[in-house]
């Protein structure tokens, strides 16, 4: 079955099948991509009392077998995700394949009348992301991006504090991912793919390349054909929270620099990267360092009244130490510091954190039944992925970019706009 025939068949099937689940009805779930992240998602879904695990798809036989084993004989295995989507009894699918395989299965699933939990980053390109949003809206599907921090209660509490003015005016946010990956992830020769891997299907819409073990499984993240490095890996999480907390959609401009300077392993994405985003009224910076782990990659909101340091294990608010009377006099200013002010100077607030991955799965399943928008709705995933993609485009071009959020294009820069999409390898094309 070719793609055009498949889409036509699925469109007819979706019209007949799309049904509303009752509040107590069980949800039949399948998974596309049963690697490490996928099996983590799969395990959380299976443990929910209203989930039936019915289908597992992976092009790598060992991953397929592990996913099937987790379902204890309840699921059927597939090597081609289109066969999974043909099943009328599948209500929802998890898309946890590599990033270059997020858009096509998600859109086809929407066309087939199925709801989707798709891992972050939402898409490999900005154009793909918009197509995924359009498909979800056109076919009235619930699509949750796997940005699980959106479902953490302590993240919501932090957002409430920030929006409520606890920190005063926030003019600067710092985020990043810092670790030591030296000396790298290895360097290997091209070789025939292992017999248990359908390499051509793994590549899918990506350019044809000889098999190399560095390109496959976890390490696909270090190649532009399939992903965007730590920018799209961890940036998709913390930049999403920054955008949520500040209640903004898109930046005005982006500047970035970086490269793969120290890791000598055949990878392509930066091991050092600095990105600066200009938003109305504040600046957001993103830092990547894979070559030295001497300090953590902090995630901090810097306000005129205090600082909020946020992570998956909780957050801490520390009041800013305002200028003392002596300091004020030295700068020629008069300021009285009363007892209340002194108390504020030393005030701290901590939050112990909250569970996120299970809560995120639960939010998706509840929305499958209620038909409400989930916490990390596809549109939110798209807007946050735009930040990541713009950061990488600016890094690769070595210049600043001005973003036209309404048109979703880089203003006055035809060369940069070529990076908003990629040409898919035939016969794969982005469904519309």
CA-to-CA separations, 234 to 20, 229, 252, 276, in angstroms, rounded = 35, 9, 22, 16
CB contact at 8 A, 98 and 86: no
User: Which of 3-7, 23-27, 258-262 has the weakest average pLDDT?
Assistant: 3-7
Average pLDDT of the segment spanning 322-332: 51
What is the pLDDT at residue 276?
A: 98
Q: Which residue has the higher pLDDT, 67 or 328?
A: 67
What is the pLDDT at residue 23?
A: 67
pLDDT digits (tens, 9 = 90+) for 360-370: 999 999 999 99
Strands (E), 164-204: 170-178
In the block, which residue shows the tokens 């500047």? Answer: 255
pLDDT digits (tens, 9 = 90+) for 79-135: 999 999 999 999 999 999 999 999 999 999 999 999 999 999 999 999 999 999 999
What is the pLDDT at residue 346?
A: 54
pLDDT digits (tens, 9 = 90+) for 382-393: 999 999 999 999
What is the pLDDT at residue 406?
A: 97
Average pLDDT of the segment spanning 194-213: 97
**Contacts (Cβ under 8 Å, ≥6 apart) of 185:** 214, 219, 222, 263, 265, 267
What is the pLDDT at residue 328?
A: 46
Spatial distance between the Cα atoms of 234 and 167, rounded to a whole number of angstroms = 25
**Contacts (Cβ under 8 Å, ≥6 apart) of 19:** none
End-to-end CA distance of the chain: 18
Average pLDDT of the segment spanning 46-74: 98
CB contact at 8 A, 199 and 211: yes
Average pLDDT of the segment spanning 31-58: 98
- Domains along the chain? 3-148+358-377 (3.40.50.720), 151-354+387-420 (3.30.360.10)
Phi, psi of 223 (to 5 degrees): -130, 135
Per-residue confidence band for 13, with pLDDT thresholds at 50, 70 and 90: very low
What is the pLDDT at residue 400?
A: 97
Average pLDDT of the segment spanning 182-200: 96
Written in H, E and C, the secondary structure of 298-310 is: CCEEEECCEEEEE
Per-residue pLDDT at 339 exceeds 50? yes
User: Which of 118-127, 221-230, 296-305 has the weakest average pLDDT?
Assistant: 296-305
Phi, psi of 169 (to 5 degrees): -80, 120
Average pLDDT of the segment spanning 205-234: 96
Per-residue confidence band for 21, with pLDDT thresholds at 50, 70 and 90: confident
Q: SS3 of 398, please?
A: coil
Average pLDDT of the segment spanning 183-198: 96
Average pLDDT of the segment spanning 272-286: 97
Beta strands 76-78 and 51-57: pairing type? parallel
Token pair of 281 as six digits: 């009224």
Per-residue pLDDT at 320 exceeds 60? yes
What is the pLDDT at residue 49?
A: 97
Q: Which residue has the higher pLDDT, 23 or 311?
A: 311
| Total-model pTM | 0.91
pLDDT digits (tens, 9 = 90+) for 129-188: 999 999 999 999 999 999 999 999 999 999 999 999 999 999 999 999 999 999 999 999
Per-residue confidence band for 337, with pLDDT thresholds at 50, 70 and 90: very low
């Amino acid at each position: 079955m070719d793609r055009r025939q498949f889409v036509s068949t699925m469109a007819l099937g979706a019209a007949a099948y799309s049904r509303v689940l009752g509040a107590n009805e069980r949800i039949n779930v399948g998974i596309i991509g049963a690697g490490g992240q996928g099996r983590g998602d799969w395990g959380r879904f299976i443990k929910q009392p209203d989930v039936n695990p019915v289908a597992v798809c992976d092009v790598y036989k060992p991953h397929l077998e592990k996913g099937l084993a987790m379902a204890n004989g309840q699921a059927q295995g597939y090597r081609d995700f289109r066969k999974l989507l043909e099943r009328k009894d599948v209500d929802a699918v998890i898309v946890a394949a590599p990033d270059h395989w997020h858009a096509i299965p998600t859109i086809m699933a929407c066309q087939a009348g199925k709801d989707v939990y798709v891992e972050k980053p939402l898409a490999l390109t900005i154009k793909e992301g918009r197509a995924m949003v359009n498909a979800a809206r056109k076919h009235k599907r619930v699509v949750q991006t796997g940005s699980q921090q959106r479902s953490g209660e302590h993240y919501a509490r932090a957002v409430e504090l920030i929006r409520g003015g606890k920190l005063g005016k926030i003019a600067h946010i710092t985020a990043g991912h810092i670790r030591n990956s030296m000396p790298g992830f290895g360097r290997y020769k091209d070789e025939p793919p292992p017999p248990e891997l359908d390499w051509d299907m793994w590549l899918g819409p990506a350019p044809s390349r000889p098999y190399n073990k560095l390109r496959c499984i976890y390490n696909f993240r270090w190649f532009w054909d399939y992903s965007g490095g730590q920018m799209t890996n961890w940036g998709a999480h913390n930049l999403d929270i920054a955008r949520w907390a500040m209640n903004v959609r898109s930046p005005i401009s982006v500047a970035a620099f970086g490269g793969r300077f120290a890791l000598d392993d055949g990878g392509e994405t930066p091991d050092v990267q600095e990105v600066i985003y200009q938003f109305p009224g504040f600046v957001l910076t993103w830092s990547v360092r894979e070559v030295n782990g001497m300090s953590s990659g902090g995630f901090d909101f810097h306000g005129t009244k205090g600082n909020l340091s946020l992570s998956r294990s909780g957050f801490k608010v520390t009041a800013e130490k305002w200028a003392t009377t002596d300091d004020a006099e030295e700068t020629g200013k008069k300021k009285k510091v009363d007892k209340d002010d002194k108390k504020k100077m030393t005030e701290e607030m901590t939050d112990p954190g909250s569970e996120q991955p299970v809560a995120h799965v639960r939010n998706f399943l509840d929305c499958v039944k209620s038909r409400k928008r989930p916490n990390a709705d596809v549109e939110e995933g798209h807007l946050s992925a735009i930040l990541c993609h713009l950061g990488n485009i600016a890094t690769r071009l070595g210049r600043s970019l001005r973003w036209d959020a309404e048109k979703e294009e880089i203003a006055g820069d035809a060369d940069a706009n070529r990076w908003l999409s990629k040409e898919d390898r035939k016969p794969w094309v982005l469904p519309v």
